Homo-oligomer: A and B are copies of this chain.
Amino acid sequence: MTWQLHPQLLADCYELMTHQEIHILLKKEKIIPWVILVPKTAQRDLCDLEAESFAHLLGQMKKISQYLKQKFSADKINVAEIGNVVPQMHVHILARKQQDACWPGVVWGKTLDAATYSTEEVTMMQQEMIQLFGEVV
């Protein structure tokens, strides 16, 4: 079966970039900057990835964390791989602020307001991803 992005992730996010078989998504939740990495794999758990894929995914996670921390002056970065509801492996990276709507709680299981980004804001982040990772490969 051909691998495809899970429809729930596709519905909830903008696509920023795909870099070396990892989809970089931006959640439609503007109040808390939230990137989701989706590696092209049928595995469900991080620990089942082969060494190279594991290191590659976590290297991207680190880069995106640094980017979000700086761009949004985050007080704390939250990272997680959960996947209890949407089974396709995906890694959450969030820029948290002490004033945000969920602080100090976690975002999962909360109903947020799904405030969307403007087209210009999404385009800007797409361009910043190209700066971060180079051209799409």
Q: Does A6 reach chain B (CB closer than 8 Å)?
A: no
**B77–A96 touching, CB < 8 Å:** no
> Interface digits, A42-73 against B, CB 8 Å rule (1 contact, 0 not)?
00111110000011001001110110010000
Question: How many residues of chain A are within 8 Å of chain B by beta carbon?
Answer: 31
Q: Contact partner of A76 among B80, B84, B96, CB < 8 A?
A: B84
Task: For A74, give the chain B residue with the smallest CB separation.
Answer: B45
Interface residues of A in 71-91 (CB under 8 A from B): 76-85
Q: Contact partner of A84 among B44, B48, B69, B105, CB < 8 A?
A: B105
Chain A interface (Cβ < 8 Å from any Cβ of B): 44-48, 54-55, 58, 61-63, 65-66, 69, 76-85, 96, 103-106, 108-109
